[in-house]
């Protein structure tokens, strides 16, 4: 592991100001490299540390990539006392029978490296979902088409297909085996910057991290145990790279649930959004309306059927999740009002002679 200074991990004057404002001389700053149950690994000026989430003052649970204020107690115990405000947060929606919850994946990320394999063929729908997650995080997305060596000359066609889906986002083909495209990725990793790799299991995220690190920092899937649905990386891990940059490797995402506001979906589908602006009716649903620019583009072949269907599906999902979140909020407020009303009645009853 290269020598780490706070600056090489992304610490800067703005963060120092936020930290100083806590006003506790016993605290020191450290960045979370990995989170386990109730504890986390950190990198501080002095090197790696392990800390518990013991402090009652801790309001936000730390996530990989977080900058924290840490305390060393007289008995040598180390606790995280505060999580500094996040500049960005990559998160996804986890839907379970018991309800849905947002799962933080990586904090304080500058670039999201959205990795999609070139072999088997890239899954464009998955890429669109990953891009919505990336845009919502507040970081800048970059698409990497991995395993370019396996695709051979066919890579150019795949690059074109992917670029058509990644509107407004740079796309690069990379190979961890030949090293092709790695310099292009390094160009996005200026000193002090943090990149998080996101994508499905087996697309080669950890292999890419190792290639960029120039050494084996993450375990990768061995050929012998290669198989479908196998998840090699199981924790989100922050890795300092030579050149004062930071990478965060993440486990492959099984499903990419979205609860991103519709505006981010429209950003991913900026081509359709742009077309829709030219429809005759401002409330055009692009179903059967006359003067519909979206349907016209479909007719002319400028817009693919798959792309339109994907936009409809992802947008519907985002709106549905948003409505659910709003309903939850309303129910919560209603409960609060009821509680307050009850308390007020109770107070009046007691006040009566």
Ligand X SMILES: Nc1nc2c(ncn2[C@@H]2O[C@H](COP(=O)(O)OP(=O)(O)OP(=O)(O)O)[C@@H](O)[C@H]2O)c(=O)[nH]1
Interface residues with Mg ion (CB under 5 A) are: 205-206, 232-233
User: What is the sign, positive or negative, of the torsion defined by CA atoms of 20, 25, 26, 29?
Assistant: positive
Does residue 315 belong to the site contacting Zn ion (CB under 5 A)? no
When the beta carbons of 137 and 232 are compared against Mg ion, the nearer one is 232
When the beta carbons of 84 and 292 are compared against Zn ion, the nearer one is 292
When the beta carbons of 175 and 233 are compared against Mg ion, the nearer one is 233
- Interaction site with ligand X (CB under 6 A): 146-147, 149-150, 175-177, 201-207, 220-221, 223, 226, 231-233, 251-252
How far apart, in whole angstroms, are the C-alpha atoms of residue 306 and residue 331?
37
Which stretch in 53-61, 184-192, 282-290, 301-309 sits in contact with Zn ion by CB under 5 A?
282-290
Antiparallel, parallel or unpaired: β 111-117 and 140-146: parallel
Please, what is the end-to-end C-alpha distance for the chain in angstroms?
Answer: 75
The interface partner of residue 170, options being Zn ion, ligand X, Mg ion, none and the CB cut-off 5 to 8 Å by kind, is none
Nearest distance, CB of residue 317 and ligand X, angstroms? 23
Nearest distance, CB of residue 233 and Mg ion, angstroms? 3
Which stretch in 168-176, 223-231, 253-261, 273-281 sits in contact with Zn ion by CB under 5 A?
273-281
How far apart, in whole angstroms, are the C-alpha atoms of residue 147 and residue 155?
10
Binder among 82, 176, 209, 292 for Zn ion (CB under 5 A): 292
Residues comprising the chain, all counted: 353
How far apart, in whole angstroms, are the C-alpha atoms of residue 7 and residue 67?
12
**# residues near Zn ion by CB under 5 A:** 5
Q: SS3 for 80?
A: strand
Do residues 91 and 64 touch, judged by C-beta distance below 8 A?
no
The interface partner of residue 231, options being ligand X, Mg ion, Zn ion, none and the CB cut-off 5 to 8 Å by kind, is ligand X
Which stretch in 25-33, 145-153, 239-247, 277-285 sits in contact with Zn ion by CB under 5 A?
277-285
Closest CA to 9 of 36, 34, 35, 45: 45
- The secondary structure of residue 257, as a DSSP letter, is B
Do residues 279 and 292 touch, judged by C-beta distance below 8 A?
yes
How far apart, in whole angstroms, are the C-alpha atoms of residue 101 and residue 311?
23
- Angle between helix 305-351 and 293-300 (nearest 10): 150
The interface partner of residue 259, options being ligand X, Zn ion, Mg ion, none and the CB cut-off 5 to 8 Å by kind, is none
The interface partner of residue 198, options being Zn ion, Mg ion, ligand X, none and the CB cut-off 5 to 8 Å by kind, is none
Binder among 248, 279, 297, 308 for Zn ion (CB under 5 A): 279
When the beta carbons of 237 and 266 are compared against Zn ion, the nearer one is 266
When the beta carbons of 194 and 250 are compared against Mg ion, the nearer one is 250
Binder among 129, 236, 286, 315 for Zn ion (CB under 5 A): 286
Nearest distance, CB of residue 38 and ligand X, angstroms? 24
When the beta carbons of 100 and 220 are compared against ligand X, the nearer one is 220
Strand partners, 91: 104
> Which whole-number Å values give the CA distances from 173 to 167, 191, 244, 245, in the listed order?
16, 23, 24, 21
Antiparallel, parallel or unpaired: β 171-173 and 140-146: parallel
User: What is the sign, positive or negative, of the torsion defined by CA atoms of 116, 120, 125, 126?
Assistant: negative
Interface with Zn ion (CB under 5 A): 279, 284, 286, 292, 294
């Amino acid at each position: 592991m290269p020598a780490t200074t706070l600056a090489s991990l992304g610490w800067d004057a703005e963060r120092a100001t936020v930290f100083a404002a806590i006003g506790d001389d016993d605290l020191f700053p450290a960045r979370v490299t990995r989170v386990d149950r109730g504890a986390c690994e950190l990198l501080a000026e002095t090197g790696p540390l392990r800390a518990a989430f013991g402090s009652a003052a801790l309001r936000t649970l730390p996530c990989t990539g977080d900058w924290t204020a840490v305390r060393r107690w007289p008995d040598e115990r180390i606790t995280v006392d505060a999580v500094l405000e996040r500049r960005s947060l990559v998160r996804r929606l986890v839907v379970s029978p018991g309800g849905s919850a947002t799962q933080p994946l990586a904090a304080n990320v500058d670039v999201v490296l959205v990795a999609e394999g070139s072999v088997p063929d890239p899954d464009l729908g998955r890429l669109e979902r990953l891009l919505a997650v990336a845009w919502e995080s507040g970081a800048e997305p970059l698409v990497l088409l991995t395993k370019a060596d396996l695709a051979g000359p066919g890579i150019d066609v795949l690059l074109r297909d992917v670029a058509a889906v990644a509107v407004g986002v740079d796309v690069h083909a990379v190979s961890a085996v030949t090293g092709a495209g790695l310099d292009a990725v390094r160009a996005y990793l200026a000193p002090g910057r943090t990149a998080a790799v996101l994508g499905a299991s087996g697309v080669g995220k950890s292999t890419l991290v190792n290639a960029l690190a120039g050494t084996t920092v993450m375990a990768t899937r061995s050929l012998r145990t290669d198989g479908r649905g196998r998840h090699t990386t199981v924790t989100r891990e922050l890795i300092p790279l030579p050149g004062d940059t930071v990478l965060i490797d993440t486990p492959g995402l099984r499903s990419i649930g979205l609860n991103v506001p519709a505006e981010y979906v429209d950003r991913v589908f900026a081509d359709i959004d742009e077309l829709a602006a030219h429809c005759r009716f401002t409330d055009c649903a692009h179903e059967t309306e006359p003067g519909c620019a979206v349907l016209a583009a479909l007719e002319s072949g400028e817009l693919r059927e798959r792309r339109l269907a994907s936009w409809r599906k992802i947008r519907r999902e985002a709106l549905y999740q948003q409505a659910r979140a709003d309903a939850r909020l309303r129910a919560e407020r209603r409960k609060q009002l009821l509680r307050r009303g009850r308390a007020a009645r109770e107070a009046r009853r007691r006040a009566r002679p």
